[in-house]
Amino acid sequence: MKIISKRILTFHNKKVYDLNVKDNHNYFISKKDILVHNSGKSYTAKKIRSGSIEARIVNTDKFFPFFKDEWEKWLPIKDRVKKINKDQLVLYINSILPLAVDGTAGDPSLLLRRRGILESFGYDTGMVFVNTSLETALERASKRSRPVNPEFITETYKKIQKLKNFYRSRFDTWIEVDNDSGQLTDDIITDIFKFTAQFYTSPIINPIGRDHKSRMIENGWKYLNPNILKLSEIDQALTGWYKR
């Protein structure tokens, strides 16, 4: 393992080591927790990510393997998992890394709130709506290592289908992907790849993002902290990420 760069940050009154490892994602290491950002990407995300820019996946599920022995006790570990995910997101945003938020989209108010939070940091936002049949969704859920109630999946699926046109109207950048078995052909993957690559490499539209970029280039800053936003301010702004 070759470490390309290392940063030592102070976060929540603790020393945090953010290591960039060759041929891997960032490692987030503290005395209390050791997390390796090396999993949790959905099949579709792996297929459509840009070869030149690799978005960091924001998804609580990727941290559940660290609590495998406690899955049946969801409530006691829920807040711990969310805090770990939030702490990593703070570091991603501090570095202005491209993001892909992986979620079910079953709660429109939560989704749009998260969109607003990201836009307040200067991000442009779009939506890749990954669709399947209900039968496929149930079949894939039954094979997951962390069990999910079929009734919950059915209820969420129906709700999301009703919300699809609403989401389409709220995102200028939008594409729908059919992820049923055998639907992601090479041609379709190529089209989606071009779409996402164009989004991640296009000039920034958000005026906040344009201002951050110009100031960082002018001053040679690599991170928002400490000159534009402090880590504590980013953390505070992300308080609403999980509130319902």
10 with 78, same domain?
no
- What is the rounded average pLDDT of the residues 141-170? 87
Residues 46 and 71 in one domain: yes
* 29, 127: one domain: no
pLDDT tens digits, one per residue of 30-44: 444 433 333 323 444
The closest alpha carbon to 89, from 236, 244, 211, 210, belongs to: 236
Rounded to two decimals, what is the model's pTM? 0.75
Residues 124, 16: Cα–Cα separation, whole Å: 28
The verdict on 22 and 47 lying in the same domain is no
Domain count, the chain: 2
Please check the confidence at residue 113 and state whether its pLDDT lies above 90.
yes
Residues 25 and 107 in one domain: no
Dist CA 228 CA 204 (whole Å): 18
Do 165 and 84 reside in the same domain of the chain? yes
Looking at the fold, whether 194 and 83 belong to one and the same domain comes out as yes
**Domain co-membership, 101 together with 45:** yes
Q: How far apart are CA 176 and CA 165, in angstroms?
A: 11
Tell whether 47 and 101 lie within a shared domain: yes
User: Is the pLDDT assigned to residue 8 strictly greater than 70?
Assistant: no
State pLDDT tens for residues 50-93. Answer: 455 678 888 866 665 555 555 556 556 777 778 888 889 999 99
Mean pLDDT for 11-37 is 48
What residues make up the domain containing 145?
39-241
> According to the model, what pLDDT value does residue 34 have?
38
Residue 25 is predicted with a pLDDT of 45
- The angle formed by the CA atoms of residues 61, 123 and 21, to the nearest 5 degrees, is 55
Residue 181 maps to which CATH number?
A: 3.40.50
Are 10 and 129 contained in the same domain? no
Asked if residue 29 and residue 102 are part of one domain, the reply reads: no
CB 2 within 8 A of CB 22: yes
Q: Judge if 44 and 32 occupy the same domain.
A: no
Sign, CA torsion 49/241/32/147: negative
Write a three-state SS string for 19-35.
EEECCCCEEEEECCCEE
Selection from 67, 116, 76 nearest residue 239 by Cα? 116
**Cα 115 to Cα 111: distance, rounded to the nearest angstrom:** 6
Q: Is the pLDDT of residue 104 over 90?
A: no
Cβ contact 184:126 at 8 Å = no
The Cα–Cα gap between 108 and 5 comes to 39
